[in-house]
Structure 1
Amino acid sequence: MNFENVVFSFFIVLALTLNFGFFIGDIDNPVHHNQYELLAAILVNLIATILKFGDKSHVGAILLSTSLVADMQLLLAGGIWIFGVHITGETMTPNTMVSIVSLAGGAMLANVISVLLLVTETVLLRR
């Protein structure tokens, strides 16, 4: 068992599960979407992206691109949350929450693609 592959896979799957945990719930209800879970999803996605930089294969390039897409969308979602609530000092509106959750949903789709590529690559590996 290769410890490096275990860590790599761990962060890819953890990024997806944290993203899913934030995404699930009523799209416009802020009570269903925890800001700290979004922060955790952002941080784990960034770690997963850093781990993907070393792979020089074609699949590695696709994995990196899906991770960059997820990072971009989650960072935008976090930025909207910070700007929409903390900087303006207003309460969370349903429209703002919908924008945040929609971006997190796009990031989750990118993470699903990443996990599917990881599983496919693992299945196709020859011993």
Structure 2
Amino acid sequence: DEGKSAVQARCPQHKCSRMVPVNFFKKYCDEARIQKYEEWYLRSYVDDNPSVKWCTNPAGCTLACEYQGGEICDIRCNCSFVWCWGCGEEAHRPADCHKVHQWSIKNSAESENISWIRANTKNCPKC
């Protein structure tokens, strides 16, 4: 029930720093706790491994993807969503992540301008 710290649990014996093995949890815990432990174990593996990331599908996805590096950094998850390993946004090749980020900021600013214009101006009565 301790979350991620359960995955990294150490032997309580004095001067022993061995990690508690997975089979210990499976032997001494009920099914609900075993399931929670396995979820935290997976989450810990993904969070601590630089070559594995959670899918960034905005519709929601519980899958993790592995990327070993190389030229192409578009990731196609088993949920069918294609996303950029570098920034986590929807795939945007051939534009690099920095350009996409700048474009997003520009679009956001323009959207705010348009909203202000619509809220604070009137249409020409002769048009």
TM-score of the superposition, structure 2-length normalised? 0.26
TM-score with structure 1 setting the length: 0.26
Q: Which has the higher contact order (CA 8 A, sep 6+)?
A: 1
Q: Which has the larger radius of gyration?
A: 2
Counting helix residues as a fraction of each chain, which structure ranks higher? 1
